[in-house]
Chain A
Amino acid sequence: MKKKKFNIIEMNKIFKSLINTMIPESKIELMPSASRAIKISIFLKNILKSNKLKKKINKVLITTLKNNKKINYSSLGIKIAESKIMEKDLEKYLLESYFSSKLVQKQLLKKTNKILSSKKTNNKDNLSLLKLVKKSRLRYKHI
């Protein structure tokens, strides 16, 4: 039997759902899904640079497709993500791409500012903290 080969559009669909299952959108945490933060084509290009990984991806795709004959590509990606079979291979690439994305960093900054704006303190707090230390004995030895 001839082996199925996946074209770039099919691969994009599979990987979009795969990484979105691994890192979905969170409305509560105000964070975007992986595919909103990462350009799938660049992500794919990066991971396919490794021949070992390329071979494993093909093998996993074909096996999963064989076991789920009438499945569409998006569902195929979800299946692979849920099986965690590629998790160890992809996590480094995925985390690096996700947390280096401008969108993710912007959201994290927004969240941080929102939380911290309610906790603003001034420099006088430092001084009251330091009073105790200033009054304390010397900590260095006079030689």
Chain B
Amino acid sequence: MKNNNVDILIIGAGAAGAAAAWNLSQSGYKIICLEQGPSLNYKSYSFSQTNWELLKQKKFNINPNIRKSKSDYPIDNSKSPISIANFNAVGGSTILYSGHVPRFHPSDFKTKTVDNVGDDWPFEYKDLEPFYKLNDKIMNVAGLVGDPAYPPISNLKPPVPLGLSGKKIAQGFNKLGWHWWPSYSAISTKRYKGKKKNSRSTVDKTYWPLAISNGVKLRANCRVKKITLNSLGNVNGVIYTNPNNKEKFQGASLVIVACSGIGTPRLLLNSANKLFPKGLANSSGLVGKNLMLHPLGLVEGKFDKFLGSFIGPEGCCLASQEFYETIKDAKHKRGYTMQVLRSSGPLETAFSARKFKNLSFGKDFHKQFSQNYGKTIPVAIICEDLPEKHNSVELDHNKKDSSGMPGVKINYKLSENSKKMLVHGLSKAKEVMKKIGAKSIMSFGPVRHTGWHLMGTTKMGNSRKESVVNEFGQTHDIKNLVIVDSSIFVTSGGVNPVSTLQAVALKITSEIKNSPNRYFI
């Protein structure tokens, strides 16, 4: 009988899975990646399409419960003030991300030591630095060197232009003497290898072509339902549904899970068996616990003059990290980033203006629309979320996906620390808006539909009682089961996690290349 077993099986073709696949593809292993979503033509999700705002409401909605595509799974957000956002396809959530890719700060890896909250990571910023650098190169990260908020970062592509709105708010930060810096953006600001200028670097266009050309087999529309064990308790493969929804087995010597902070615990919990009745690799009971989401506040200033503030990549303008570290005498620990965004396109502007009764139909429609369009500057407050065991992901056996696999329930409460941090962030962003003469300021938080950053649910650490994986991404319980996505994050930082999760995936897979005996049976 033909042996179809592979050396390495990667589950999930998103940001982490892609980085892992490329890094391992250079070492001669037989590798396969199974992805539950489809492989998309990049033109279908280009933000520059005429009807993009319309597609964002439906087919490319960030909420899987609205999209309801075959590759999505049900997520019950009713017990959370923040709903989960994701995208399931080759490229994962990078298909819809803004491309804002700042790094974590050195202190993010030592929050217990520095601020006596959260926990320390089993490695430090300097250990991750070479992998950040490698990831920046492959993701074509643009930015400006010399940022005083970070240790030196080099080899960046030219930064995205600030635009009139960026320059205006930068003046406000300057007046207050607060830090700001042009965004670190995975946006191709220079023409590179035939790719169009100003396109976002999604991993289906960056890592995947390189991995596939090195021989990695990528199978789209294949949903892994269970990870299986042999009689010795080691992983021996997975059960998945193929594109025709038929169950199949794929054998593997090493399984790498890269399904996000929600998808990874879902798969491990659904893979419970006699040896691991609470869920695979869950002897600690921590699979699905410590969910961190980055509560987000929004402040929007409205100005008299047209700023063309919708021009440019939507999440990438500039960011202030003046209040990123713990502030002496503040009511909260740790901190946040003030991320200056671009304003909405015409459709979202119209919807929002209608919602807030700033736009009426009839003879004044266009005049009122012009008073809103391109005249606002939005600032997002990205708050560091601290790990708490009661914030969790669990299986929802009442709602199943298209293959019959259970969906998930989210149990999440905003901590007192996050609430205080949000209040602080909102008031500081309003201060900037006032400094630059905003005509009116709107602020609120947490914003519900912003649960993009999914972290902590299979925590990394040295103790098998207090964590799920070790510093090498290996589960404490099963040697040849590895996790490389943001579910292993110990703390959340106060920035978008994608560059950190990719750097972590590169670090762990480099370890697999350098010390295979640590992982293979």
Does B167 have its Cβ within 8 Å of any Cβ on chain A? yes
Does B366 have its Cβ within 8 Å of any Cβ on chain A? yes
Which residues from 445 to 467 on chain B have a C-beta closer than 8 Å to any C-beta of chain A?
none
Nearest opposing residue in chain A for B368, CB measure: A29
Expressed in whole angstroms, the minimum distance between the Cβ of B107 and any Cβ of chain A is 4
Q: Are A91 and B107 in contact (CB under 8 A)?
A: no
Of residues A24, A84, A143, which shows the largest number of chain B Cβ atoms within 10 Å of its Cβ?
A143
Which residues from 98 to 122 on chain B have a C-beta closer than 8 Å to any C-beta of chain A?
105-107, 109-110, 113-114
Nearest opposing residue in chain A for B126, CB measure: A143
Contact with A along B206-234 (1 / 0, CB 8 A): 00000000000000000000000000000
* A55-B216 Cα distance, complex, nearest whole Å: 55
Q: Are A139 and B325 in contact (CB under 8 A)?
A: yes
Nearest opposing residue in chain A for B179, CB measure: A139
Q: Are B179 and A116 in contact (CB under 8 A)?
A: no
Does B177 have its Cβ within 8 Å of any Cβ on chain A? yes
* Given A29-B367, A96-B57; A143-B325 close (CB under 8 Å): no
Does B53 have its Cβ within 8 Å of any Cβ on chain A? yes
Does A54 have its Cβ within 8 Å of any Cβ on chain B? no
Q: Are A133 and B179 in contact (CB under 8 A)?
A: yes
Does B437 have its Cβ within 8 Å of any Cβ on chain A? no
Does A8 have its Cβ within 8 Å of any Cβ on chain B? no
Q: Are A100 and B106 in contact (CB under 8 A)?
A: no
**Chain A neighbourhood of B110, CB < 8 A:** 143
Q: Are B179 and A24 in contact (CB under 8 A)?
A: no
Q: Please choose the segment from B89-97, B145-153, B503-511 that sits at the chain A interface, where 4 or more of its residues have CB less than 8 A away.
A: B145-153
* A115-B150 Cα distance, complex, nearest whole Å: 37
Q: Are B308 and A95 in contact (CB under 8 A)?
A: no
**Chain B neighbourhood of A84, CB < 8 A:** 361
Interface size on B, residues (CB 8 A): 56
* Given A130-B144, A137-B148, A139-B325; A99-B350 close (CB under 8 Å): yes
* A22-B521 Cα distance, complex, nearest whole Å: 70
Q: Are A29 and B148 in contact (CB under 8 A)?
A: no
Expressed in whole angstroms, the minimum distance between the Cβ of B157 and any Cβ of chain A is 14
Q: Are A22 and B322 in contact (CB under 8 A)?
A: no
* A22-B350 Cα distance, complex, nearest whole Å: 13
Mostly, the A contact residues are helix
Q: Are A22 and B365 in contact (CB under 8 A)?
A: yes
Which of A29, A102, A129, A141 is in CB contact (< 8 Å) with B50? A102
* A26-B311 Cα distance, complex, nearest whole Å: 23
Does A61 have its Cβ within 8 Å of any Cβ on chain B? no
**Chain A neighbourhood of B354, CB < 8 A:** 91, 95
Nearest opposing residue in chain A for B150, CB measure: A140
Q: Are B148 and A24 in contact (CB under 8 A)?
A: no
**Chain B neighbourhood of A132, CB < 8 A:** 174, 177
* Given A22-B362, A139-B148, A141-B106; A100-B174 close (CB under 8 Å): no
Which residues from 12 to 42 on chain A have a C-beta closer than 8 Å to any C-beta of chain B?
21-24, 26, 28-29, 31
* A142-B124 Cα distance, complex, nearest whole Å: 12
Does B181 have its Cβ within 8 Å of any Cβ on chain A? yes
Contact with A along B306-334 (1 / 0, CB 8 A): 10100100000000011011000000000
Q: Are A129 and B167 in contact (CB under 8 A)?
A: yes
Nearest opposing residue in chain B for A113, CB measure: B308
Contact with B along A94-138 (1 / 0, CB 8 A): 011001101011001000100110010101011001101110111
**Chain A neighbourhood of B113, CB < 8 A:** 143
Does A81 have its Cβ within 8 Å of any Cβ on chain B? yes
Which of A99, A115, A130, A143 is in CB contact (< 8 Å) with B107? A143
Q: Are A96 and B181 in contact (CB under 8 A)?
A: no
Does B162 have its Cβ within 8 Å of any Cβ on chain A? yes
Q: Are B167 and A125 in contact (CB under 8 A)?
A: yes
**Chain B neighbourhood of A91, CB < 8 A:** 354, 361
Does B123 have its Cβ within 8 Å of any Cβ on chain A? no
**Chain B neighbourhood of A141, CB < 8 A:** 105-107, 114, 325
Expressed in whole angstroms, the minimum distance between the Cβ of A47 and any Cβ of chain B is 15
* Given A29-B370, A108-B346, A143-B125; A87-B361 close (CB under 8 Å): yes
Nearest opposing residue in chain B for A95, CB measure: B350
Q: Are B50 and A100 in contact (CB under 8 A)?
A: yes
Q: Are B179 and A119 in contact (CB under 8 A)?
A: no
* Given A133-B174, A143-B107; A95-B366 close (CB under 8 Å): no
Expressed in whole angstroms, the minimum distance between the Cβ of A107 and any Cβ of chain B is 10
Q: Are A100 and B51 in contact (CB under 8 A)?
A: yes
* A140-B354 Cα distance, complex, nearest whole Å: 42
Q: Are A100 and B366 in contact (CB under 8 A)?
A: no
Expressed in whole angstroms, the minimum distance between the Cβ of B265 and any Cβ of chain A is 30
Apart from A29-B367, A142-B106, list 9 A-B contacts with CB within 8 A. A21-B362, A24-B366, A104-B346, A116-B164, A132-B177, A133-B181, A139-B179, A141-B106, A143-B113
13 A–B pairs (Cβ distance < 8 Å), ordered by A? A21-B362, A31-B366, A91-B354, A95-B351, A129-B174, A130-B144, A133-B179, A136-B179, A137-B148, A138-B149, A140-B106, A140-B150, A140-B325
Q: Which residues of A contact B (CB under 8 A)?
A: 21-24, 26, 28-29, 31, 81-82, 84, 87, 91, 95-96, 99-100, 102, 104-105, 108, 112, 115-116, 119, 121, 123, 125-126, 129-130, 132-134, 136-143
